[in-house]
Amino acid sequence: MKNKKKKKGMNYTSMKCPYCGSTVEYRSAEGIYKDNHKNVMLYVCTNYPECDAYVRVHEGTNKPVGTLANSKLRAMRLEAHKLLDKIQNKGIMTKNECYQWIANTIMAPLSQAHIGYLGEYYCQIVIDECKKLLNRKRNFYKSKKIYQLKVV
Ligand SMILES: [Zn+2]
């Protein structure tokens, strides 16, 4: 009964830092982000800055976009997102196809196939697979170009 009620108005501050086990506080990114003119809110490890783990929230909500991440994992997630954007912008896959593809790639249920949930290990797999995919496409277009040149 209690759990059911909790689901809607989740209290995310009950999260624990996955790195040091400290409690997590909900606070402004002020002093953490170099530029916080967007007034981003974060869940930050209370051991910050000794422990550099935090996660931002979905805009306009108090819902974290994923699990707390340290600087290395944050950089990896950013790279994975950029590669996925590229894949979508090039029309290789739609957003939905991307998430299905991630789920297949890391062998996880679709509900878990979000970059924000991935740790370093799976994040690296997604990055590598994205690069492979983009490379394959590049070679495909290259060969097409050559073919077209020959035809002309
Ligand atoms: Zn921590």
Q: What is the pLDDT along the chain (152 residues), one digit of tens a residue?
A: 444 444 455 678 888 999 999 999 999 999 999 999 999 999 999 999 999 999 999 999 999 999 999 999 999 999 999 999 999 999 999 999 999 999 999 999 999 999 999 999 999 999 999 999 999 877 776 676 666 666 55
Q: How far is CA 132 from CA 69, 70, 84, 125, 138, in A?
A: 25, 26, 12, 11, 10
54 and 77 housed in the same domain:
no
**59 shares its domain with 30:** yes
Among 62, 61, 56, smallest CA distance to 44 is for 56
Å from CA of 149 to ligand 1 middle: 57
Residue 43 has what DSSP assignment? E
Whole-model pTM?
A: 0.82
Domain that holds residue 31: 1-68
How close is the Cα of 116 to the center of ligand 1, in Å?
A: 17
Largest CA distance in the chain: 71
Is residue 76 located within the same domain as residue 63? no
On whether both 100 and 27 belong to a single domain, the answer is no
From CA 142, how far away is CA 112, in angstroms rounded? 35
80, 152: one domain: yes
Q: Output the CA 150–ligand 1 centroid distance in Å.
A: 59
Domain co-membership, 39 together with 77? no
